[in-house]
Structure 1
């Protein structure tokens, strides 16, 4: 993952320092151009209206909002793509017509302005391809308007665009569907992408860096099926400028959104979670790499039913994986095949009991199998909290160099758990210990002759 520093000025952004031209995936527009033998910037581009042939002058200076708006409206009526040749176009707010096709040359066709916003409500189709869109919010303030503000568009396509320096969200989408693909989004004051109540949205192959409060947010106003797919993105340096204890600072955040797949993303240096699902049922979180998360790297929390967390790598976090809040209705999960390592006891706020430094923590109706946890300074695995434990199976895991291999609740009212076939190495305080909340109250329950409480089945674990 690119760890290059964010761009400190409009000049750097407009100079094409983002390097989007190196992205190998081609947009449908350019694929069509190759077949037809036409070149970018040619008025012979089939189905395209060259903006310069209608009086728009690249890099001429001055505000070109009125002419740009007129040309967008004309292209919408004729069904053409409005093509912006390479150059700088200073503009303010632009209203995207019901059918919008706006294209440019990646890294070279640049829309910019401190009041720039591309807005739409109720469009049938919007296609934005190969544009650089710069809000000039340096440094980003975090409270301003989004650069793209789209509502009620079922067919939104944003491809190979550079979008930077938004005062608020870079892309703010409401009740919209489509895809955001192969874009570079940097220096958003709030989030790179915020989607509310989406209808079949795909967010694929984007690079997102240096955002003030979030990376990709898939939210709903009330719980419901969302079915977005978030895959193959690279996110780095996501801050939590607005503070809090987890509502900000997440690389990918699902809130009340059911049926979302988050897969094969690379996430570095998120202030809180790399991936956080809050109240989102039937989430699939698979194949992601999460490095140096400030709090819990992978989180399924609060009122959810159904989560699959599998095949992820977590290297560096305060907690590796947490599947929590049975007291709030959080239940039903599979946690399998994950590698969690190099955890720490320090987080972004003073920890509640039992503290930071856990590898994996689960509570209800959950299978925990075939995971490897190494260097968790508190517990390798925590099963339950107080009476909040029910129907948990922990089998075939490896816990290495954790002071306590497995911490399991023995508080009255705790439900059934099976702990078998786990390998626990380097657990100086005990392989398996029973806890009353934060206090260890048993000897090593994996030791020969130990008699575990009736709600626990402990067998075949090796040290």
Structure 2
């Protein structure tokens, strides 16, 4: 439709009829002397712009270009918007580039924050937001941090669509969250961990971690599992981890330590160094369902009954291409090459395990076994299909209606720790162990 003189005049009149306050609903950074591409440090002008915009309850809009800034203190209520991928903040030094001690109602979007390898204090990130409700961090890029990328402490809100790369510690740290969603972010080339969901003390957390892409996670600072994880949950209860694509972590795709009621569903995990999905040390309540695991030393482990670890439902997972060696730093005597391992109060059903070089499923460890149900699984190409503890003190297990193919050392074998002490119990010897029911399994 063409714009004639009458319609042009009408449109102009309509614009003029809008109150000036509404037309000036955004403050431009250039109005505070911020000059994209300037060679000098613009920290003072940037801070003035942020403070004025927050005090006026108006968003601050930054033009495309590069801004050299040191530490900027973000007040509650600040909204800072850049041009996605083109508004770059080059960090000149401080405790962080964007720091908010009280982060209520803060929004950051469309910013590129480049740490340039400048030193940061311990436990800080290039962006550090603390104690805030209704926080939004969207469509930002964070790179080049000498410590963490993004640190959130006591935050309720949404972190979505960001890219974090090239950080020396963890990509994203969420500590003592108060209703946080971490969604659709890309985290790659983090030296120690991808996403940390931690609590100072064990308790309800409720963080949702979904649909993120996490790649190339190292364990530069070593250890036996505290580093090298794409997603690590510690002491945080009622966390949901779903639909993430994880590839290339030195230890685990997902590691949950001391958690309660964690849900780990529908994740696609590949090329892991140790246990792909690890639920350990005093956990109570875990659903691990419908995940795909391709390449790890162990597939899914729910363990540490000796520390109170119990209560798991492991269902509908596909596990394949496991290897028989754990990474450096772990105990060389620890097991490897196992599809699924569990110790107490667990149901393991309808999983497909292919190519586990030690055993498809491992039940219990010595006397640490209680109330395990293993049904309707398909296990192909493992020397032992299902290994079950028959050591003195081991509790009850049901092993029924599984399909085991190509188990050269036996479809169901009784173990005392690592040592096999029975033949194939699908054929004989079951009656010696009143605590075991082995029935209806199909072996070929």
Instruction: Give the SS at the match of 1:150.
Output: strand
Match 1:361 to one of 327, 341, 356: 341
Match 1:80 to one of 42, 58, 61: 58
Match 1:323 to one of 270, 286, 302: 302
2:440 counterpart residue number: 460
Equivalent residue runs for 1:114-129 within 5 Å = 114-115=92-93, 117-129=97-109
Equivalent residue runs for 1:225-240 within 5 Å = 225-240=204-219
| Structure number having the greater strand percentage | 2
Give the Cα–Cα distance (whole angstroms) in 2 for the partners of residues 373 and 348 of structure 1: 22
Give the Cα–Cα distance (whole angstroms) in 1 for the partners of residues 165 and 69 of structure 2: 20
| Residue 162 to residue 45, structure 1, CA distance change in 2 (3 Å) | farther
8 Å contact kept, 2:430–2:437: no
Instruction: Give the SS at the match of 1:332.
Output: strand
Match 1:218 to one of 193, 197, 201: 197
Give the C-alpha shift of residue 291 in structure 1. Answer: 0.1
1:25 counterpart residue number: none
Equivalent residue runs for 1:90-129 within 5 Å = 90-115=68-93, 117-129=97-109
Give the Cα–Cα distance (whole angstroms) in 1 for the partners of residues 184 and 423 of structure 2: 50
Segments ≥4 residues shifted beyond 3 Å: 43-46, 140-145, 350-354, 448-452
Match 2:412 to one of 419, 422, 432: 432
Instruction: Give the SS at the match of 1:307.
Output: strand
Unaligned 5+ residue runs, structure 2?
1-13, 16-20
User: Is 1:49–2:27 an aligned residue pair?
Assistant: yes
| Residue 283 to residue 144, structure 1, CA distance change in 2 (3 Å) | closer
TM-score (norm: length of structure 1): 0.88
User: Is 1:444–2:424 an aligned residue pair?
Assistant: yes
User: Is 1:255–2:242 an aligned residue pair?
Assistant: no
Instruction: Give the SS at the match of 1:174.
Output: strand
Give the C-alpha shift of residue 353 in structure 1. Answer: 3.7
Give the C-alpha shift of residue 172 in structure 1. Answer: 1.1
| Residue 254 to residue 45, structure 1, CA distance change in 2 (3 Å) | farther
User: Is 1:135–2:115 an aligned residue pair?
Assistant: yes
Give the Cα–Cα distance (whole angstroms) in 2 for the partners of residues 207 and 225 of structure 1: 26
Give the Cα–Cα distance (whole angstroms) in 1 for the partners of residues 192 and 238 of structure 2: 24
2:350 counterpart residue number: 370
2:185 counterpart residue number: 206
String of CA shifts for 1:111-170, please: whole Å, max 9, x gaps.
1124152111123211001111110128x9996841011111122100001111111111
Equivalent residue runs for 1:286-365 within 5 Å = 286-349=265-328, 351-353=331-333, 355-365=335-345
Instruction: Give the SS at the match of 1:256.
Output: strand
Tell me how many residue pairs correspond in the alignment: 422
Match 2:38 to one of 43, 60, 63: 60
8 Å contact kept, 1:445–1:452: no
| Residue 439 to residue 448, structure 1, CA distance change in 2 (3 Å) | closer
User: Is 1:273–2:258 an aligned residue pair?
Assistant: no
User: Is 1:197–2:176 an aligned residue pair?
Assistant: yes
Unaligned 5+ residue runs, structure 1?
1-35, 38-42
Give the Cα–Cα distance (whole angstroms) in 2 for the partners of residues 274 and 420 of structure 1: 30
2:222 counterpart residue number: 243
8 Å contact kept, 1:143–1:167: no
TM-score (norm: length of structure 2): 0.92
Give the Cα–Cα distance (whole angstroms) in 2 for the partners of residues 450 and 305 of structure 1: 31
Give the Cα–Cα distance (whole angstroms) in 1 for the partners of residues 263 and 413 of structure 2: 31
1:14 counterpart residue number: none
Match 1:171 to one of 125, 135, 150: 150
Q: Tell me which structure has the larger Cα radius of gyration.
A: 2
**CA RMSD of the aligned region, Å?**
1.9
